[in-house]
Amino acid sequence: MLIDTHCHLDFPDFDNDREEVISRANKNGIKYLINIGSSLKGSGDSVSLAEKHPDVYAACGIHPHDADKTNDESIREIRQMALSKKVVAIGEIGLDYFKNYSSAQNQRKVFVWLNNLAKEINLPVIIHCRQAEDDVLGVLREAKPVRTVVHCFSGDEKFLKECLDLGFFVSFTCNITYKKARSMRDVVKLVPLDRMMLETDSPFLPPEGMRGKRNEPMYVKNLCEEISKIKEVGPDKIAHFTTANAVAFFNLK
């Protein structure tokens, strides 16, 4: 049994076959999917999808790209959505200094707001971090979330150690299967199994051999197999630990 802890099935990429995608995931041993909100609309759609499907849960958040468009009313709307019983986290939230679609100042302000919201309603946070490691850690050290996962982990060994020392979980995607991803595979070796989760970040980052095509949750099994090779343990052991971690982290029923 596996869990895709981060996918975006609310995106238009899945408009033509969303139900089939969920069914394929189930048939391939993916028990639960966590659909991640990255905007006000996306968070609402994520909640609606989760309330329709017993095997889908939701997270509500505002991506740092949208920080310039976010205000107090936006946070109130996210708070209201997050009260749904199917919402298991606030995310994805964080900082992105690579594309800088929103100002760094507004990104940090929204990041702090959403961390405070997560603490208020006792939900874990799902972190997006791109070329912003020091500032992300600074906010999180002050916010002290109930639980934290850094999604699509692509940092170096130093950032990994800082995250693990703070008690965070890290989540990997199918980009570790890419031929040029040797440095990421080296980082995977350093992560204890009891601090690791799996995700596809669908529709992005399909496995090696499918690049340029749409990713979907059933390919989390490819990720499990790759980590099994990297860690030199059986895929059943990877599945056992990562599933148990996700169930506990998101308080899945």
The structure's pTM equals: 0.97
**What are phi and psi for residue 88, nearest 5 degrees?**
-115, 0
Kindly report the CA angle at 133 between 127 and 134, in degrees rounded to 5?
125
Q: What are phi and psi of 89, to 5 degrees?
A: -165, 165
| pLDDT per residue as tens digits for the range 177-191 | 999 999 999 999 999
Q: For all residues of the chain together, what is the average pLDDT?
A: 97
pLDDT in tens, 147-182: 999 999 999 999 999 999 999 999 999 999 999 999
In this prediction, residue 217 carries a pLDDT of 98
pLDDT in tens, 40-74: 999 999 999 999 999 999 999 999 999 999 999 99
Q: Is beta strand 2-7 parallel, antiparallel or unpaired with respect to 148-150?
A: unpaired
Is 2-250 a CATH 3.20.20.140 domain? yes
pLDDT-derived band at 253 (thresholds 50, 70, 90) equals confident
Among the listed residues 128, 177, 180, 125, the one whose alpha carbon sits nearest the alpha carbon of residue 155: 128
Q: Is the pLDDT of residue 205 over 90?
A: yes
pLDDT at 216: 98
Instruction: Report pLDDT for 150.
Output: 98
Sign of CA dihedral 212, 218, 220, 224: negative
pLDDT in tens, 8-26: 999 999 999 999 999 999 9
Q: So where are the chain's domains?
A: 2-250
% of residues, the chain, pLDDT over 70: 100
Which contacts of 111-117 are long-range, i.e. CB under 8 A and separated by 24 or more positions?
Answer: 111/64, 111/67, 111/136, 111/139, 112/139, 112/143, 113/70, 113/75, 114/61, 114/62, 114/75, 114/78, 114/90, 115/90, 115/139, 115/140, 115/143, 115/145, 116/143, 117/75, 117/78, 117/79, 117/82, 117/90
**Looking at residue 55, what is its pLDDT?**
97
- The pLDDT score that the predictor gives to residue 10 is 97
pLDDT for 114 beyond 90: yes
Q: Has residue 1 got a pLDDT over 90?
A: yes
